[in-house]
Amino acid sequence: MSLPSDEVKKGLLRAPQRSLLRALGLGDAEIARPLVGIANSYNTVVPGHMHLDRLARLAAEGVRQAGGTPLEFNTIGICDGLAMGHAGMYASLPSREVVADSVELMARAHGLDALVLVASCDKIVPGMLMAAARLDLPALMLTGGPMAAGRHEGRLVDLISVFEAVGRVQAGALSPEGLAALECAACPGPGSCAGLFTANTMACLAEALGLALPGGATALAQSERRAELALASGRAVMALLARDRRPSQILTPAAFENACRVDLALGGSTNTCLHLPAIAHEAGVEFTLTDFDRLSQSTPHLALLSPAGEHRLEHLEAAGGVGAVMKALAPLLHLESPAVNGGSMADYLPPAVSDYQALGRRVIAGLEEPLSPQGGIAVLFGDLAPEGCVVKAAAVAPQMRVHEGPARVFEREEEAVAAYQAGAIAPGEVVVVRYEGPAGGPGMREMLALTALIAGGPLNGKVALVTDGRFSGGSRGAVIGHVSPEAAAGGPLALVKDGDLIALDIPGRAISLKVAEAELAKRRSAWRPPAPRFARGALARYAASVGSAAQGAILKGN
């Protein structure tokens, strides 16, 4: 079988290239073997990435044991937690494209034969999966694993506990000293933040797609099992190469349905409504918000993990992980779909659904008694969002699932935060934050600073938030994001004024703006797009080329 690396290292004309490979310390035997890229997002900026150097070394050892030559390279990795609540968040979603492009370019330039993709966190994992689909080389995803939950005053805590505690301090319900003690306890070490936020949701979906080994999503970052998975991933990618099993054979429409159903059953992050369509686009599969909506109607919600509940990823791991969730969902899944373990998704299922309980509740409910008959993510449509918008329905208070209230309109997140801190937002209002979409932001900033203030303060369960931006996987409440078309594109969100009535019906999957069409037409004729926030550089280029959130915020021309 001819390999891409043959173009780099074989024949008389490639003596200069072989000379460079020898400078790496490779001999004839190593040069003759397949060249396997270890794409690694290791850095010492992000807690989810700080341990990936060890996992990459173990994956490389697995490649060597199976007869390949590993070559490691790095990508960038942005921590949304560190970037949250300020201008740094503009860079977050655009970084997904940089990750995908960097993996693609390194693999193409150096004729790599296969890839082990080592990453944690939102944007980085989906970016690498996009690259795998685009390149269609034998590839396997090795995620870094979740952080253990923190322990504080007899309860489990995580990063979101700290974000929400800021609101409690401002409301006078917690002292600054109490916040400082919580701050020191919430994040005890390496790994993706402990709840079912976007990083861990994407790890679960990588496994459910069939592009990660069984158990790859939930083993803790510092566990021995995580190390075993790293070594096994190196061996497994060589088996993929030997069988010539490629992402195009795994990333089928059935695989995306499987992953989406797992997401819905877990009540995962709404960011998957961006990432799954983007990965599908790279794989040549059409998968959009309408598919989330269709599948949500028939997929039960089976788990209540932080931020919707008290369970963390370590509890899901103890209950059997993603495999156990898929076992519960088995009648709804395409278990014949192929996977990187060499078999099918049926091999990922344990013999039985776990009845494991933690904190007084079963971690994974069964189909016979689901938490809800419909999935944890809902897609709403209506005259305010003709192309759709999304809400983490599993994390919405019952009294806010149907709500109508007057709009309070802000042109960016900082204005809304300032209004909240000034006590200028009233119960019952629908807070509108616009011009935060893919192009208008640019980059669809996550608004965890705002949602956490609301969730931790006296307005918890009393206001709704609607935006063309997005929310952290750690957000909870009646927070509706991804409103499409976005305001910067002239979508209806751009026409809303203070006091306009907005009606939400999450069970009915509807969102409406109660303003007469004649009045909207008058406002539309007077509307002009705002000036771009960035005139040059990466963010200006991104704003000029990014598409609608309803199709995954993919770049035009990609």
Catalytic residues: 472
Q: Point out which residues pair with 408 in neighbouring strands.
A: 431
Q: Any residues with CB less than 8 A from the CB of 388 and at least 6 apart, and which? A: 289, 290, 293, 379, 380, 381, 482, 484, 550
Q: HSE-up of 342 (CA within 13 Å, CB side)?
A: 11
Q: Residue 273 is which amino acid?
A: C
Please spell the DSSP secondary structure of 270-313, one letter per residue.
TTHHHHHHHHHHHTT----HHHHHHHHTT--B---BTTTSSB-H
Backbone angles phi, psi at 157, to 5 degrees: -140, 165
**In degrees, to the nearest 5, what angle opens at C-alpha 489 toward C-alphas 485 and 491?**
45
Q: HSE-up of 512 (CA within 13 Å, CB side)?
A: 12
Q: Which of 20, 73, 17 is nearest to 42 (CA)?
A: 73
Structure tokens at 139: 């590839």
Q: Point out which residues pair with 432 in neighbouring strands.
A: 409, 466
Number of Cβ within a 10 Å radius of residue 64:
17
**Residue tagged 């059409």 (tokens):** 286
Q: Which of 312, 315, 230 is nearest to 52 (CA)?
A: 230
> What is d(CA 538, CA 95) in angstroms, rounded to the nearest whole number?
10
Residues 437 and 547: beta-carbon distance below 8 Å: no
**In degrees, to the nearest 5, what angle opens at C-alpha 204 toward C-alphas 547 and 48?**
85
Q: How many residues are there in the chain?
A: 558
Burial label for 518, CB within 10 Å (0-12, 13-18, 19+), is exposed
> What is d(CA 291, CA 298) in angstroms, rounded to the nearest whole number?
11
Number of Cβ within a 10 Å radius of residue 27:
9
Beta strands in 153-305 (DSSP E): 155-157
User: For residues 416, 417, 419 and 425, what is the CA-based torsion angle, rounded to 10 degrees?
Assistant: 80
| Alpha-carbon distances of 85 from 43, 88, 415, 449, rounded to whole Å | 22, 8, 12, 5
**In degrees, to the nearest 5, what angle opens at C-alpha 248 toward C-alphas 140 and 554?**
90
- Pairing mode of beta strands 402-410, 430-433: parallel
Q: Which of 108, 106, 103, 137 is nearest to 123 (CA)?
A: 103
